[in-house]
Amino acid sequence: MKTAEISARVEPQLKEGAIKIFKKMGINVSEAVNLFLNEVIVQQGLPFAKRTPNQKTFDTMKKTDADEELTEYEDVNDFYREMGI
């Protein structure tokens, strides 16, 4: 079988994290890429939902990760009242 080479630049941590998972699955990166590409063809698109947060959501997630601008509630009912639910 003929093969074609694919070159991609990824963050080192992303690559290493994926390789660890692939090892547990008993496959290598090339096999994983082939599985992904085959699934793209079968699905006629990405085999998962591509969700990109808007800027406000992204900024909020960054603040939350930094423990900034967090709100505490007494209980879930207090939260619901605040949200108007």
Shared-domain flag, residues 41 and 11: yes
Shared-domain flag, residues 69 and 36: no
**Domain enclosing residue 29, as ranges:** 1-49
| Domains of the chain: total | 2
Write down the pLDDT at residue 73.
92
Going by C-alpha positions, the residue among 20, 22, 23 that lies closest to residue 32 is 22
Shared-domain flag, residues 43 and 21: yes
Shared-domain flag, residues 36 and 65: no
Shared-domain flag, residues 76 and 42: no
Shared-domain flag, residues 43 and 4: yes
Shared-domain flag, residues 2 and 36: yes
- The per-residue pLDDT for range 18-51, each reduced to its tens digit, is 999 999 999 999 999 999 999 999 999 999 988 8
